[in-house]
Structure 1
Amino acid sequence: MDKEYFRSTFHLSPNTTAPIYTQLAEYLKYQIQSGLLKPGDKMLGENDIVEILDISRTTVRLALNRLVEAGLIVRYRGRGSFIAEPKLRRSINYLYNFTENIRLSGAIPSSEINRCEVVSADEEMKEKLKLATVGQKVFVLERLRLADGEPLIIENTFIPYYLCTGIEKTNFSKASLYNVLKTQYGINVSHAEETIEAIIINKKNASILKCKNRMAGYSIERTSYLDSGYICEYTSSVTRGDRCVFKLDLYNSNNTRSGSIDFERKLSIS
């Protein structure tokens, strides 16, 4: 955005009670969300905005702070402000399905399959899936999940093989695992437990995710259950912290909608 474009397109409204910084923030937000300002573009400098509008630096900073809080811009000391890459928003209120939620976000989901096979469970996997004995067959699916070709999640899934015999023949580079489980095997996930932990992404995973080594990220462990109470899936994943936001809706225990808090998760691009 250059000075002339800003000068010709932004006008303070005298017919509103909204503060100047709110009007400025909403204008810049529209420029970003409409695609006129793209990720990586440099914002007009604070001094330039102050000069053009003849307003205080504090007012400009209040407007830019709103954009920072919304994840729309990032600031770099000595360099200025830049349009941020859109982040993934995971609402922790619905059973998470990567394929469906990325499509709803307007992006194209895809997967790179690193492993798709049946193995014998070791002691750790026996415990995770609550299997009867070590050596029981387990389906293993290791994938790199992408949105519009950009790596976002390393996802490793383990399912008791007696629930899904023959599933290893499926092409999961395009197919949704949950859709296959539901339509071909009649498996409907009743509920799931998820643990989300902030981590520093190690060198190996950073290379796979094409992000900086030792970047902040999330480690997510998920255990899914059938109505019967049996475990039908265990998934561990690593997600880039710079492209992911978790959202949790909380309700008062007296709210008629729910007497407790339900935790769910989904992905969408803001």
Structure 2
Amino acid sequence: MVNSLYKKLMRNLAQHIRDDYQPNQQLPSERELVEMFKVSRSTVRLALNELEERGLIYRLHGKGTFVAPVFINQPDLGNMYSFSNQMITEGKRPSTKNISLKLKNPEDWIAMQLNLEKGERAYELIRLRLVDDEPLLYSRTYLPEKIFPDLVLADLNEDTLYGVMKKKYHQISVLAFEDVQAVNLDAHEAEHLKVTENAASLKINRKTINDKNIPVEFTQALAGGDKFVYRSKQYNQF
């Protein structure tokens, strides 16, 4: 119940911010939001925490909560964990096309990312992420066979990747390391993203760690360079 309440409040606040607030404008206090929306303070805090993670707001200690500057109205590449939720909050329709799932011996450098010993195999999942039926992300994900035995495509067609990780295999992702670089798409990649060959793209390498400090996923994703922004917050330590 608490989960559904804070999700509903988060969506209401996000719409309220887009309709009625300007960048850097201060939001009402937590106490005022409790009164406005008739919910508990813990629900307000959960909603604000998620809005901050998504880059819609920022907090300054001792001063309050403010609307984030809107530099570019595009999805945030730094928020791929909640990509679908982010799109839904923005009133868009996300979907995933799982192209293939194969068990293979990964290249040495990929095996190293997953701490695999020689001869250990990994599933290679190729998929396309779409928003309103427009392809935005083309990715290859590698998942260790020893952690995800008997993984089948049907699992991923019925639930999200992280949902399958958690529900079927009891794997909790707690940390991800990412790097982003500018690349040009080859003909195969461009065909999937419906752009021209050699089009500019952002390549994201992500290694995900579970709650036992073990790598459970390595993903290489390609995103249209004109469709995403990588957003971060930085604080000066006085």
**TM bracket (short chain):** 0.5 to 0.7
Cα 1:100–1:167 change in 2 (3 A) is: farther
Q: Is 1:118 matched up with 2:106?
A: no
Q: Output one character per residue of 1:36-78: Cα deviation in whole Å (capped at 9) or x when no partner.
A: xxxxxxxxxxxxxxxxxxxxxxxxxxxxxxxxx955xxxxxxx
CA-CA distance at 1:167 after TM superposition: 2.0
Residue of structure 2 aligned with 1:196, choices 155, 180, 191: 180
TM-score where L is the length of structure 1: 0.57
For structure 1, list consecutive stretches of 5 or more residues without a partner in the other structure: 1-25, 27-68, 72-86, 255-270
AA aligned to 1:107 is K
Distance 1:154 1:186 in 2: 26
Tell me which structure has the larger Cα radius of gyration.
1
Say whether 1:226 aligns with 2:229. no
Matches within 5 A, 1:1-270: 70-71=71-72, 88-90=74-76, 92=78, 96-133=81-118, 135-173=119-157, 175-254=159-238
Instruction: Tell me, in whole angstroms, the C-alpha distance in 1 between the residues paired with 2:183 and 2:175.
Output: 25
Counterpart Cα distance in 2 of 1:131 and 1:100: 32
Distance in 2 (CA, whole Å) between partners of 1:202 and 1:95 is: 23
* Structure with bigger RCO (C-alpha 8 Å, 6+ apart): 1
| TM-fit CA distance, 1:244 | 0.8
Do 1:99 and 1:176's aligned partners in 2 also have CA atoms closer than 8 Å? Answer: no
Identity %: 24
For the Cα contact (< 8 Å) 2:176–2:207, is it kept in 1? yes
CA distance in 1, matches of 2:156, 2:87: 16
Residue-by-residue CA offset, 1:157-213 (whole Å, 9 max, x unaligned): 001112122222434345210111112211111211000001222332122101133
The two structures have a TM-score, normalised by structure 2, of 0.64
Task: Tell me if the contact between 2:155 and 2:164 (Cα under 8 Å) persists in the aligned partners.
Answer: no
What amino acid is the match of 1:143? Answer: R
Distance 2:141 2:123 in 1: 8
How many residues matched? Answer: 170
Stretches (4+) displaced over 6 A: none
Specify the alignment match of 1:39 in structure 2: none
Q: Is the contact made by 1:202 and 1:214 (CA closer than 8 Å) also made in structure 2?
A: yes
Which amino acid in structure 2 is aligned with residue 132 of structure 1?
E
Consecutive unaligned residues in structure 2, runs of 5 or more: 1-21, 23-69
- Relative distance call for 1:202 and 1:121 in structure 2 (3 A) is closer
C-alpha deviations, 1:222-254, integer Å up to 9, x for none? 001122221110000110011111111112234
Q: Calculate the aligned-residue CA RMSD, in Å.
A: 2.3
